[in-house]
Amino acid sequence: MRTTYMAKPSEVERKWYVVDATDIPMGRLSTVVASILRGKNKPTFTP
């Protein structure tokens, strides 16, 4: 049986993101920013 990896708070590495919103529709921008804020772009994403 496999176990699910859960990242510990001490293992989480926080980063700042700068988003250039020039020529990007607001809806597209908001979905990209929301996925970054939730951490879905990381391989260790845990819901």
Residue ranges covered by each domain of the chain: 7-47
Retrieve residue 27's tokens.
Answer: 């809806």
Higher pLDDT, 14 or 20: 20
Contacts of 41 (CB under 8 A, 6+ apart): 35
**Is pLDDT at 17 greater than 70 in this prediction?**
yes
Q: For residue 43, what is the DSSP state?
A: T
Task: Burial-class residue 19 by CB neighbours within 10 Å (0-12, 13-18, 19+).
Answer: exposed
**Percent of the chain beyond pLDDT 70?**
91
pTM, two decimal places: 0.61
CB 39 within 8 A of CB 6: no
User: pLDDT tens digit string along 25-46?
Assistant: 999 999 989 988 887 777 766 6
Retrieve residue 45's tokens.
Answer: 């994403």
